[in-house]
Amino acid sequence: MKKIIRICILVSLFFAFAFTGAKAESGRLIIVNKSYHLLFAENNGHITNTIPITIGKGGESETPTGTFEITSIVHNPKWYFNGKVYPPYVQDSENGLGVCWMGLSLPSYGIHGTNEPFSPGRNRSHGCVRMNNKDIMKLSAESYIGETVKIENGNKNEISELLKPINLLYDTENVMQNAE
């Protein structure tokens, strides 16, 4: 009888901690603003991280808008593209996913690193949201499976125009740091 009681207590504790953790993370949200070419990590209404991003080129490569969830987080992923398999980025810098892939609930779309350090701030991807590798590593360390990702068009306005040179400076600084 004591054994059954212990098992019930352990199961109860497991569910209590599991649901407590989920509630603690529920205030976290990722917002992608396509006009600003920025990703915002938000926690309980406060922006905790702002990252310059690359979005889709347009047409069939347009980055979709909507509300999605993170379904996977894979470090050093293989890249399957145009019938070819690229080894992880650490082995082959041609791997367009960079050092991390965060899959979305929309199949074939995700948030990932890049092998093109000058691309954030531009429309160059095949529809995914990509960023420099050090940024995806930081974001993936703070993210979790089931986290909400909102991708919005945003407004083409004065602010989005003002952000273009900032994104360019950010890219230049990243490239110079990576070249050292």
Q: What is the pLDDT of residues 13-40, one digit of tens each?
A: 333 334 334 434 468 999 999 999 999 9
Structural tokens at position 163: 């952000």
Contact 24, 149 (CB under 8 A): no
Give the residue among 27, 104, 28 at the shortest CA–CA distance from 64: 104
Has 46 been annotated as catalytic? no
pTM: 0.76
Q: Rounded mean pLDDT of 43-68?
A: 94
The Cα 43–Cα 47 span in angstroms is: 6
Higher pLDDT, 170 or 36: 36
112 catalytic per annotation = yes
| CA 129, chain centre distance (Å) | 7
Take residue 119 and report the two structure tokens written for it.
């691309």
Residue 108 has pLDDT above 70, yes or no: yes
Query: What is the mean pLDDT of the segment spanning 3-10?
Result: 41
Sheet of strand 46-52, all strands in order from the earlier edge strand to the far edge? 46-52, 38-43, 28-33, 148-152, 66-75, 100-104, 110-112, 129-130
